[in-house]
Amino acid sequence: MNIRAAEEESAQEIHIPADIDWEMLDKSKFFFLGAALFSGVSATLYPVVLVKTRQQVAQAQISGIRTAFSIVKHEGFRALYRGFGTSLMGTIPARALYMAALEVTKSNVGSATVNFGIPEPTASAIANAVAGLSAAMAAQLVWTPVDVVSQRLMVQGTHPTCSSPCRYVNGIDAFRKIVKTDGPKGLYRGFGISILTYAPSNAVWWASYSVAQRLVWGGIACYFRKKDDESNDNGNSSSSSNNNNTIRPDSKTVMAVQGVSAAMAGGVSALITMPLDTIKTRLQVLDGEENGRRGPTIGQTVRNLIKEGGWLACYRGLGPRWASMSMSATTMITTYEFLKRLSAKNQESLV
């Protein structure tokens, strides 16, 4: 794929390896390797997610570092992985559904937008946004019940409304007690707000990632163009581009650009959707004080947050969530692109 690196004043192009669409993938290898790789990613980032969740249900503002040290001091290091087994069981099918929906939508929408005559950069951003939106909605069908159970385990004993009267031995015990108390719909508590959180978040993330990638590549092209101009002024031939004025970065450079672009997109997405994530987490793990055993409404949750700390209370856990989403995005996208190349049917066509 050729990306126009600078604007019209620049004659140089960045040549990066071709993008891999759904039809080019070996599906069995794609899903098998994906399950293994993303399980490792989830294990690495899980403690940060747990700290973020604890902050969101706390009634007072406490820093992420202080929360983490308090957990380790009073509950032990293993408490940072409370509910991880349940989360992992849901991550594998949810990730598989997410990746399938993402790639199928991106491929179809990308082709359709280009056929309508939309410029390639704009078509790419649109395709990425729509793909992220559909993938998030599909994955939430699996992920919301797992999220409810794992978050109940994460915050167990940290808030009076969730530590009494239920105590959960493990994920299966939590699942059984939630269904017994609230019925199957209890597993989908916060489903609507989850869609409102993750669907726009994914759309923003994938669109931002597409734009950020082009901005970073554009900056690199401008750097090489300036370097070439200086070399030409000194009477030296350019070593960074060939006779066709095309820059061909190596695989490490491509991965670095993908990682930086993903971190930028993750930060933007975290900041925009943080209030919705805080409300969602509270809906899923706290019992309604005003409604007895029924879960709180969105209105009650917002009122309680504002009563506890004003509008800034909606941004509790922003630091860990920002770090988690940026690290997760960087790790996810580099792992995801690596996974796609490993799973390609024809490796020779990727050059």
Q: What is the CATH number of the domain that holds 217?
A: 1.50.40.10
> CA–CA separation, 210 vs 270, rounded Å?
17
Indicate if the alpha-carbon torsion angle 116, 120, 122, 123 is positive or negative: positive
Asked if the structure places residue 48 within a domain, the reply is: no
- What does each of the 351 residues of the chain score in pLDDT, given as a tens digit? 444 443 444 445 666 666 677 777 888 888 888 888 878 888 888 998 888 888 887 777 778 888 889 888 888 888 899 889 888 888 888 888 888 888 889 888 988 888 888 888 788 888 888 998 899 888 888 888 998 898 888 887 554 434 434 678 888 898 998 898 888 888 888 788 788 878 888 888 888 888 888 888 888 888 877 877 777 666 554 444 444 556 677 777 888 888 888 888 888 888 888 888 888 888 877 654 444 455 677 888 888 888 887 888 888 888 888 887 888 788 878 888 888 888 887 765 555
Asked if the structure places residue 311 within a domain, the reply is: yes
Q: Based on the structure, what is the number of domains in the chain? A: 2
Q: Which two tokens stand for residue 162?
A: 């969730």
Judge if 171 and 218 occupy the same domain.
no
Q: The domain containing residue 330 runs over which residues? A: 199-229+249-342
Task: Kindly report whether the global pTM for this prediction surpasses the value 0.85.
Answer: no
Residues 133-150 as b or e (16 or more Cβ within 10 Å = b): bbbbbbbbebbbbbbbbb
